[in-house]
Chains A and B, each alone.
Chain A
Amino acid sequence: AQTVTQSQPEMSVQEAETVTLSCTYDTSENNYYLFWYKQPPSRQMILVIRQEAYKQQNATENRFSVNFQKAAKSFSLKISDSQLGDTAMYFCAFRQLNAGGTSYGKLTFGQGTILTVHP
């Protein structure tokens, strides 16, 4: 079974600074997707960024980027120029793909990291 571990229960950062959230995962599979989701105080889950395991290039979405280290099974999220609206709980998630490359099924979530951005 796959497991996802986020070892930082809480983090804080000053506005405009950069912060990195850690995530490690454990799987014996080779084909999978990794995700970072954001859950602000409204509790609506929002997809931040997605990484396909077969791609070596790290995914980037504006101020959000990942450091994907497949051999180390590490998938960290870097938030640059932090904004007050980035305050949220962040979840790392994993989904296995089957041999055909189609989605196997359920997302496995990490424990979450509560990020607070201070003015």
Chain B
Amino acid sequence: GAVVSQHPSWVICKSGTSVKIECRSLDFQATTMFWYRQFPKQSLMLMATSNEGSKATYEQGVEKDKFLINHASLTLSTLTVTSAHPEDSSFYICSARVGTLYNEQFFGPGTRLTVL
């Protein structure tokens, strides 16, 4: 299957700083990428959907100014957590899909963010 990578796999930062997480589709072009947040032993919560070259669509309750998403190319999407606080500590997972005809999403390995 197709491979999606995330970098970094884990990050620790101080409260008030910004953190950028990269999501790359390694062997396919992803027209749509999704960003999820997951707390321990809980389900994946969709944060936003991004299509290459256009603004991301955020889910209700997700602060777009806090979680900046950029999908500048067909193989790269980034999530920037701005002015991070301890409550932003979580596991962030990206997922990518090719076009609309394919019904499988390929998931990255996730990034664990810890804000001190």
Contact = CB atoms under 8 A, between A and B. Distances in A.
Given A43-B91, A103-B103, A105-B49, A114 B41 contact: yes
Contact of A89 (B32, B41, B100, B110): B41
Given A43-B110, A44-B109, A106 B100 contact: no
Contacts of B1: 47
A75 interface: no
B43 A102 contact: no
Interface residues of B, number: 23
A68 interface: no
A111 B45 CA distance: 10
A50 B102 CA distance: 12
Interface residues of A, number: 22
B7 to A, nearest CB: 15
Interface of A: 33, 42-47, 50, 89, 91, 95, 97, 102-103, 105-107, 109-112, 114
14 contacts: A33-B103, A43-B110, A44-B109, A44-B110, A50-B104, A103-B97, A103-B101, A103-B103, A105-B32, A106-B34, A107-B34, A107-B46, A110-B43, A112-B42
